[in-house]
Structures are given as C-alpha cells and as structure tokens.
C-alpha cells in the first residue's frame, strides 16, 4: 500500500464519441492535462471497480477488463445478448445479465476475472435499477448475497460452487442494501400490502440471525433510498410517497428516517423546513451526515449520529451535497433543473470558502485526494455545451475544456488513506500556484487589487424575493402618478426643471390673484 509520502497520481477517465482515454490529473503541467500512452478504445460504456484496480469496458461485441496501473487489457469475455454488466468492489468477479430466450437458460452469470471461469449462474426474469447487480458484495468482498422471492440468500465468497449457504426469510422483500464497510448488516424493504404498512428491517449477517435487530414502519410509502454509513452503524432512509397529502408538491412527499444497528435511535430526522429531501450524504468518517431539504430556497444542515444539528449551511438554490473524501470540505450545489450555483465550505473550520457556478452539470465529484471538485456536462442527458470543469476546494476555477460530444468523465478511484493530510496538501498546492504565478509575470493592477480585496469568507446572503418584470418599476411609476417622486432619485437637470415649473406655477397663481383684485 502506498504511503502518504508517495501518493498515487490523480487520473481522470474521459469518454467521447471516439472512445475513452486516461488523463493525468491535476496539478497540470502548463495548465493542460496529458494523456497516458493508450490508444483511444471504441466502447459503449466504462466503469471502474470500487477500489480502482480494474476497469470494465463494454465494446460492441465483447467485455474487456483492464488493469489500472498501465491500463492493459487482461481478460476479454464474449457475452451475447448482453443487457448489463458490473465488477465486484475489488475487481475479483464480473457479473453479467443477458437476454434470456427460455426459463431454463441461466442468464445471470458470475465470472472469475483472473481465470475467466464461470463460478455461478442463475435465471432471472427481469432486472431493474433497484435489483441490479443481482449479487451484492461488501467492500472487502467477504460477504455476498442476493435477493430472491421472500428471502435473502448468502454465498461463500471463496467458493461459489457451494451455492447458497444461508437463507434469511423476509416475506414480501423487494429491495435490499448490504452495508459496505464492513459488511456486517443488511437492510430489507417490504412495501405496503393489504393494509399492512411498509417497513425497513435491519438484520445482522450471520448463520444464526433470523430476527431483525431494528425495524421501522411507514404508511404512504412508494419507494425508499437506503444509505449506510462507513462503520455500518447507521442507516438513513429517504421514504417517498407518490402523492403529497398537503398538496404542496407535484412530485409527492419525502421524509428522512434514521435507524441505528444498536437500537438507540429509530425515527424521523428533525428537519427544520417543510418540503422534500433533495439529497443526503454521510461524511467519510460515518459520524455525521449532511442533508439538503425544503422548498426552494432549500436549506442545508449537518447532523451528528444522534440527529443533533452541528452546522447550518444556510439556504439557496441547492439540491446536491458532496463531502470530500477527507471529510474536511463540503460542496452544496444546484444541478439538474437548477442554475448550477455551488457553495464550498470548510466543515472543520465552520466557514464558507467561496461561491461559483457550473451551469448544466450532469455529474460532479471530489478528487480522491480531496483537493479538486470536477463537474461534467455529458450526453445523452445534454447534447450541447458538453465539457469538463475542475475547481479548487474553495470554488476557484482551475481547468475547463469543451467537447463536441462527451459521454463520461470520472476520477479513477483511490483510497483517501493513500494521500497525506488535506491541510498539508492544500499548503503544498498553494505554494506551487504562487511559484507558477511568479514565473508567469505580474498581472494587471486591476486583477491584483481584486484578488487582494476578495473576501476569504463571503457572507451567506439570503436570496431576494422574485419580482416579475412588469413590477420592477411599479414603485417609481406609482410615485410619479401621485406626484411623490423621491428627490434623491432626481438628477441635477431634473431638479432644475422642477424648480422652474414650481416658479412658473407660483407666477401664474400670483397673476391670477392680481387680476381678481383689479376686478
């Protein structure tokens, strides 16, 4: 394992219309990335294993596995009628799902990557985003399981030829989520049926475990999102109903629930604003989580493991939250149908570092070392303005590149433990940037002044209320109609003309009075 003194280089996978290539990540030489000596490979999709050791490349007729040190192809699989494929977290196994012609054909296949051997197969009628991959692994691949009808089946990850070694009966189960680090617990979702409320049940992964160690029931529940923390001690559950009983939201109603494996906490997270739960993410430590919630402008709050608020991040047009891998920095963003505002926070220092925008972003993620934040506008979600932007941890734009067509931009996964402490990394990069600026010569006086006067901790401003275009000058028009135009808004010429008109009125009034006296 690499030490923090010699961290691995950052690398970025970029896939366009002509195939994928690998960039050497920041800091760039001459502000431009270099491409590894790898010919662009035509493909339809690519996906790293969770630990970044292997790369799955789907080609028109084959599946190829690349090792990620030199990005050489190590194994190729011919899988006809392929519908989906996935690598196990450590890249040991390849799982494929094929279109089946008969029920007797086993169309879910597990392959050993190193040897290319088939180690397990089964039949599955259909596959959804919730049920794929069919076989779930913990991050260290010590636990493997699959969801079947009314039960969860467990395997021996060292010998799949044994078949199912343990069955956990859960009547009506339709979705499961295995804790990843470590794989000690599994959550099962059972939907509402015949007046019986929906439920989430947590089980310990073991041969003798048959009863849930934690349980939570819900009425008006259509779907759930399950989020385990690192350490497998807490589970966040976003419960969504298709219909909002208050009629405040067209998209239904969402609630955030929290369950712990020790049974200490079971219930709703106390959110302080009405509205949907837009996003929730655990910190890398697993000790706190951040939530973006409420009707726009949304609110963002960081809670501890006891659901007590630790830090309020203010309100704004946000629907996304991202922790950096070191747990020090946070990015709040508004993507999708929002204009792309981003706010960067230092969680340790409890202060905002900066704000910026990245319009039309489809994907976003921190670099493995926690210093850079990359956003990408990709097809087929958006067919125009495709490109990549990389920002510093404080929101300053570091790099931008546009593409005619971009399908994917991902950091190569690396363990954050392989990199040094984030404070030391930040100082080293800042000193490098200062040296680069000195070698590039002095900038203009205006730019230097703006850099010196830019606040390091800009205050969080509350968004102004929306005013329709026709109402922008309503106050001025009304004052003019009532003859109450404010003096401070008049120019010198306007003031001079107004005095002339007043004098003329006085003169006419005086003439009229004198003529009346003569009569």
CB-count burial class (<10 Å; 0-12, 13-18, 19+) for 148: middle
pLDDT-flagged residues of the chain (< 70): 1-5, 37, 207, 243-251, 423-425, 427-492, 512-519
CA of 73: how far to CAs of 33, 42, 66, 76, 77, in Å?
23, 14, 4, 8, 11
Q: How far apart are CA 509 and CA 505, in angstroms?
A: 6
What does the pLDDT read at residue 488? Answer: 42
Nearest to 148 by CA among 129, 128, 167: 167
Confidence at residue 436, expressed as pLDDT on a 0 to 100 scale: 45
Is 178 in contact with 189 (CB distance < 8 Å)?
Answer: no
Q: What is the structure's pLDDT at 503?
A: 80
For residue 375, CA distances in Å to 251, 358, 361 come to 26, 7, 6
pLDDT digits (tens, 9 = 90+) for 317-340: 999 999 999 999 999 999 988 999
Distance CA 502, CA 275 (A): 56
CA distance linking residue 374 with residue 363, whole number of Å:
8
Angle CA(323)–CA(400)–CA(13) in degrees, nearest 5? 65
Output the pLDDT for position 200: 93
d(CA 291, CA 323): 11
- Sheet strand arrangement including 298-304: 277-282, 288-293, 298-304, 309-316
| Cα separation, 21 vs 478, whole angstroms | 62
Specify the pLDDT at position 433: 52
Break the chain down into helix, strand, coil percent, rounded to 5.
Answer: 15, 40, 45
- Per-residue pLDDT reduced to its tens digit, 179-232: 988 989 999 999 988 888 899 999 998 767 788 999 999 887 888 999 999 999
271 closest CA partner among 285, 284, 251, 290: 290
pLDDT score at 178: 94
- In the chain, the domains with their CATH numbers are 165-267 (no CATH), 271-418 (2.130.10.10)
The DSSP letter of residue 113 is: T
Terminus-to-terminus CA distance in the chain, angstroms? 113
d(CA 500, CA 474): 27
Other C-beta atoms closer than 10 Å to the C-beta of 76 total 12
Burial of 85 (0-12, 13-18, 19+ CB in 10 A): buried
pLDDT value for 247: 56
Identify the CA nearest to 336 among candidates 276, 422, 287: 276
- Burial track 324-350 (b if 16+ CB lie within 10 A, e otherwise): bbbbbbbbbbbbeebebbbbbbbbeee
Residues whose CB is less than 8 angstroms from the CB of residue 497 and which lie 6 or more positions away in sequence, other chains included: none
The whole-number pLDDT of residue 452 equals 37
Going 316 to 319 to 322 to 327, the CA torsion angle's sign is positive
């Amino acid at each position: 394992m690499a030490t923090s003194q010699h961290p691995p280089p950052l690398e970025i996978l970029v896939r366009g219309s002509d195939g994928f290539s690998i960039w050497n990540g920041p800091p760039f030489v001459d502000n431009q990335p270099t491409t590894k000596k790898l010919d662009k490979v035509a493909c339809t999709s690519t996906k790293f294993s969770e630990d970044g050791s292997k790369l799955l490349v789907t080609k028109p007729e084959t599946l190829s596995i690349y090792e990620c040190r030199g990005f050489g192809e190590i194994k190729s699989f011919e899988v006809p009628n392929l519908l989906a494929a996935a690598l196990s977290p450590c890249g040991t196994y390849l799982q494929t799902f094929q279109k089946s012609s008969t029920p007797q054909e086993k169309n879910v296949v597990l392959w050993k990557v190193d040897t290319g051997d088939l180690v397990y197969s089964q039949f599955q009628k259909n596959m959804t985003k919730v049920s794929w991959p069919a076989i779930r692994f913990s991050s260290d691949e010590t636990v493997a399981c699959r969801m079947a009808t009314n039960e969860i089946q467990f395997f021996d990850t060292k010998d799949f030829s044994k078949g199912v070694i343990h069955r956990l009966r859960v009547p009506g189960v339709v979705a499961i989520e295995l804790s990843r680090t470590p794989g000690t617990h599994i959550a099962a979702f059972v939907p509402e049926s015949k007046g019986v409320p929906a439920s989430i049940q947590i089980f310990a992964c073991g041969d003798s475990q048959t009863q849930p160690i934690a349980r939570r029931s819900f009425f008006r529940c259509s779907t759930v999102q399950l989020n385990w923390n690192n350490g497998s001690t807490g589970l966040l559950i976003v419960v969504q109903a298709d219909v909002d009983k208050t009629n405040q939201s067209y998209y239904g109603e969402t609630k955030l629930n929290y369950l712990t494996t020790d049974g200490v906490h079971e219930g709703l997270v106390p959110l302080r604003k009405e509205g949907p739960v837009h996003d929730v993410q655990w910190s890398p430590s697993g000790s706190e989580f951040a939530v973006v919630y409420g009707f726009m402008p949304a609110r963002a709050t960081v809670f501890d493991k006891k659901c007590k608020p630790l830090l309020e991040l203010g309100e704004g047009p946000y629907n996304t939250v991202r922790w950096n891998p070191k747990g020090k920095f946070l990015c709040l963003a508004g993507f999708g149908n929002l204009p792309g505002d981003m706010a960067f926070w230092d969680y340790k220092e409890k202060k905002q570092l900066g704000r910026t925008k990245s319009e039309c972003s489809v994907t976003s993620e921190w670099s493995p070392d926690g210093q850079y934040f990359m956003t990408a506008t990709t097809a087929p979600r958006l067919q125009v303005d495709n490109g990549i932007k990389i920002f510093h941890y404080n929101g300053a734009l570091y790099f931008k590149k546009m593409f005619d067509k971009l399908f994917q931009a991902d950091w190569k996964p690396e363990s954050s433990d392989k990199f040094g402490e984030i404070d030391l990394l930040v100082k080293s990069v800042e000193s490098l940037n200062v040296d680069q600026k000195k070698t590039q010569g002095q900038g203009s006086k205006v730019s230097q002044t703006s850099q010196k006067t830019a606040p390091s901790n800009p205050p969080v401003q509350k968004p102004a209320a929306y005013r329709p275009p026709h109402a922008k000058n309503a106050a001025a028009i009304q004052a003019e109609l009532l003859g109450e135009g404010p003096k401070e808004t008049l120019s010198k010429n306007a003031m001079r003309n107004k005095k002339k008109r007043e004098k003329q009125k006085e003169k006419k009034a005086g003439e009229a009075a004198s003529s009346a006296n003569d009569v």
